[in-house]
Amino acid sequence: MCSCGGSAPAIPSGPATSCPGSPAYDPALWNNAPVIGSTNCYAYAANDPSGHPPGKPQPGQHCGSPATGVSCAEVDAAAQCDGMIPAPNPPPPRAGYYPVALVVDPGVDYHWYRQDPDGNWSHKPGNTAARRTDASGNPITNPQTADRDYSGSGGPNYSNFCGYYYVPSGGVRTGP
């Protein structure tokens, strides 16, 4: 059984072939200069590590229609403009694509997760390192139920789960 999808059963250390369309979890690629300081969760979800200036690529920036606010609806529209494809909840496997998930702390920040080949999820907060754990330090088996509340350390609380999207296995271009 393929374990891809948002509500798939947890597979802590499943085989690397569970979600063949997903990009490999590769912290060495994402967590070193210049990639770490020129990408964020959105570029990570889009599997678009290279060629960005220092900073954070924004949804809709590549297609010329960036989000004007931080809400599910605004980020959704901007991401779709870039090429993210809305997916059902949970997202069934789709050949040639992998699933990503969008969450929002309304008015403050948005965040993206992407599914790894083993069925678990990873993310890259802002210009910091990619990781496979949630706000509580637990593996992310389902972004909808993961701890997304960083307010205890003064950070955002991504309380709104906006939905899933498919990304072509080759990635989506982000940023200017």
Partner 1 sequence: MTGLTFTLGQRWIEQYVSGMMLLHSLLGQEVAIKPKAPPTPETFVKVLGEIAAGTYDSSRYFEPGPPAQLVLITNPPPVDPKERYLMVGVNTETMRSQMMSVGTGGTAFEHPVWAIFAAHALSGKPPLAVPLATSNEDLWQRLDGLASAVRARRYKPEDFFGPIEGLYPPGAKLRFTLLTVPAEQIPPLRKRGMQALRVSVPPQFFELFQAPAK
Place of tokens 């290279």: 50
State in angstroms the smallest separation of the CB of 111 from partner 1. Answer: 5
Calculate the CA dihedral of residues 130, 44, 65, 51 and round it to 10 degrees. Answer: 100
Question: What are φ and ψ of residue 79, in 5° steps?
Answer: -70, -40
Q: Please give the size of the binding site for partner 1, defined by CB under 8 A.
A: 32
The answer to whether 156 contacts partner 1 (rule: CB under 8 A) is: yes
158 vs 49, 101, 174, CA distance in Å? 24, 12, 22
Q: 10 Å Cβ neighbour count for 95? A: 7
Residue 19 or 43: which CB sits closer to partner 1? 43
**Residue numbers 10-29 binding partner 1 by CB under 8 A:** none
Q: Which of 7, 50, 68, 159 binds partner 1 (CB under 8 A)?
A: 68
Query: Is residue 58 at the binding interface for partner 1, with CB under 8 A as the rule?
Result: yes
In the complex, the residues that contact partner 1 under the rule CB under 8 A are: 37, 40-42, 53-56, 58-61, 66-70, 78, 107-112, 125-128, 150, 154-156
